[in-house]
Amino acid sequence: MPPVSNTIVLHGGAGSSNQFSERLKAYAKRSLNGKSALDCVISAVVQMEDDQDFNAGTGSVMRVDGSIQMDAAVMIPGRFGAVAAIERVKNPVLVARDVMERTPHLILSGDGAVRFARAMGHRDYDPSTEKARERYRAMMSALEGKKTGEDEKYSVMREVLRSMPELLSTTDTVGAVARVNGEFAAAVSTGGASPMLRGRIGDSPIPGAGIYCGEKGAVVATGIGEEILKRVLCYRVYSRIGAKRLEDIVREEIAAFGNVSVGLIAVSEDEAVAASNTNMAYAVEYF
């Protein structure tokens, strides 16, 4: 991609259809409001959270107990805020920003995150949709019908994913990274994976895993959260910025995942990159 002036990069999640890239391009353009890099990435992620075709906010998938719990995070150099397993809010990324800017903490989770959201003025909101309910019914039907050995952790869930990908697959994390007037920012939001136990927290709200931003650039990941977490993927990419082309770094880190679904967006002083080992809707805008 060409050298970076001001830029923003969006992704719609590992596994998302490329047909959504034009929609993301429109969201990216709307987010370029001439304000800070943080304002740009927040605006972009809010638009994706409000779009039922993406697994974040209103498009979130249901967990095995029928609940919707969401994770989100924002980061700028030296500052971070996140919510994990938050329920009944429309835009988790806005609550994550409040955690960063209005508390001494880095991450709030569960009912504590919900109570904080209410105190900050985020109203009660049911993010469930008929699409999510249909997927939930298919997931539960499949889970109840599978008999696998109890010795393998998550064996039933894995069997469901292998046997019914067309019913249970969903787009993953949504995210954005930006460089505006020399400043970097990153934001990420997700409804999680499917199937998923209540209380499960993936890579998205963990700094260094699903998101990282520092003086050299910003990185956001998407894919199988547990694998991203184990590799501390975003910090791995960030720590290598400057050693070679950013695109080469990103592609090398993705290649290390083999057949495990993963994608990355990243921006540095002179590059903007979006890459994945599976389908991934994305958009890059320069301004």
The answer on whether 81 is annotated among ligand-binding residues is no
Domains of the chain: 7-128+167-286 (3.60.20.30)
How far from 164 is each of 11, 16, 51, 160, CA to CA, in Å? 25, 17, 24, 6
Strands 79-86 and 107-109: parallel
Sign of the dihedral defined by the CA atoms of residues 191, 195, 197, 198, in that order: positive
Binned at pLDDT 50, 70 and 90, residue 243 comes out as: very high
The answer on whether 13 is annotated among ligand-binding residues is no
The answer on whether 200 is annotated among ligand-binding residues is yes
**Degrees, nearest 5: CA angle 25-242-41:** 30
The answer on whether 223 is annotated among ligand-binding residues is yes
C-alpha span between 200 and 159 (Å, rounded): 19
- Going by C-alpha positions, the residue among 75, 89, 48, 67 that lies closest to residue 178 is 75
Burial bucket for residue 178 (CB in 10 Å: 0-12, 13-18, 19+): buried
Please report the pLDDT score of residue 155 as a whole number.
56
Output phi, psi for 227, to 5 deg.
-70, -40
Please report the pLDDT score of residue 165 as a whole number.
44
User: What's the pLDDT tens digit per position in 123-147?
Assistant: 999 987 667 567 666 666 666 665 5
pLDDT for residue 167 is more than 80? no
Active-site positions read 173
Query: Could you give the 3-state DSSP secondary structure of residue 59?
Result: helix
pTM, full prediction = 0.88
C-alpha span between 148 and 158 (Å, rounded): 10
pLDDT for residue 160 is more than 80? no
The answer on whether 211 is annotated among ligand-binding residues is no
pLDDT for residue 111 is more than 80? yes
User: Quick count: other Cβ atoms within 10 Å of Cβ 95?
Assistant: 26
Between 86 and 147, the more confident residue is 86
User: What's the pLDDT tens digit per position in 9-67?
Assistant: 999 999 999 999 999 999 999 998 768 999 999 999 999 999 999 999 998 988 877 78
The answer on whether 202 is annotated among ligand-binding residues is yes
User: What's the pLDDT tens digit per position in 187-204?
Assistant: 999 998 767 788 999 999
The answer on whether 201 is annotated among ligand-binding residues is yes
